[in-house]
Amino acid sequence: MNKVEIITQSEVLYTLKIRTNDTDVLAQKINTLSCDNKQQFQYAPVIIQIEDKNLSANELAVLVEILTQNDMVAVGIRSDKQELIDFAKFSGMAVFGKSLTSNKPESIQEKTTKTALSLLQDKAYQAPKVVTNEVNSFEQIIAKDSDLVLLDEVKSGAEIMSFGNISAYKEVQGCLFAGIDGDEKATIFVQSFNAQLISIAGIYKRFDVVPTKLYARQVMIDLSDGKLRFQIV
C-alpha cells in the first residue's frame, strides 16, 4: 500500500474575480457576500482571479486578510502579473493558470472548479498573518503556524518572527527570523534590504553594515547547503 497517494476529488473551489484595487470597496463587497451567503462561503476555498491590472502585492495581502476575516480561505491566485505571482509563492499560495470556463452565463454551481488533493483534505489551511502598520523599534511580531506578510516598514531593533516564510514589502531595518520551529525550507523576501539580522531555522547572519550589493535592494533569502543564500531579485 502506498504511504502517500494523490487522487482527484470533486470538491467545490470558488473563483473570486477582482475588478478593482480599492481595498475599502473590496472589504465592503466581500463582507456583504459572506453575510448573505454564510453557509455557502464559510471556510470555502477561494481562487483570487485578479482582473484589475493595477492591483499591487500590498493590496493582494490586504485582500487575503479580508477573506480571512470573513471566514473564506484564499488558496491561490490567477494572474499574469509577476509581482502578484511572487507574492503568492512567498505566501504559500498556489498559482493557477488561465481559467477554462466559457464566457456564456453560468449558474453558481457551474462556475465552481472541482478539484482537490487528498493530501490536503485533513489539513487546515493557514492564511498568512498580515501586518499593515509600521513595526517600531523594539517591537516584536510573531506569526505562529503561518507565514508572515509585512506591508509597512520595520524599524531598527524590531524583531519579526514566523514559523513559516516572511515577506516584507517596505524597508526592513530590524531583525527577521523565519522558520523558527526549524523549517529549513522557509524563505525571506525583503523589498528594500537594510536588516540588522537575518535568520532561517536558527542559522543567522548579523549585519553591522549592510553590503552595498544588498542595501536597499529586493532580496530573497533561503537556505542552501545549510547556509544562508542571499539573491537579488
The strands making up 12-18's β-sheet, listed across from edge to edge, are 94-95, 73-78, 45-50, 12-18, 113-114
**In angstroms, what CA-CA distances link 224 with 187, 200, 210?**
11, 11, 21
Q: Indicate the pTM of the whole model.
A: 0.55
Any idea where the domains of the chain sit in the sequence?
Answer: 14-95, 129-232
pLDDT at residue 3, as a whole number: 74
Residue pLDDT, tens place only, 10-41: 566 788 999 999 988 999 999 898 888 877 77
Q: For residue 223, what is the DSSP state?
A: E
User: Using 50, 70 and 90 to split pLDDT, how confident is the model at 119?
Assistant: very low
CATH class for domain 129-232?
mainly beta
Ranked by mean pLDDT, the top range of 6-10, 53-57, 128-132, 227-231 is 227-231
pLDDT at residue 68, as a whole number: 86
Mean pLDDT of 206-225: 94
Mean pLDDT of 143-159: 90
Pair 201, 186: CB distance under 8 Å = yes
Distance CA 13, CA 23 (A): 23
pLDDT at residue 201, as a whole number: 92
CATH label, 14-95, candidates 3.30.390.50, 3.10.50.40, 3.30.43.10, 3.30.70.260: 3.30.70.260
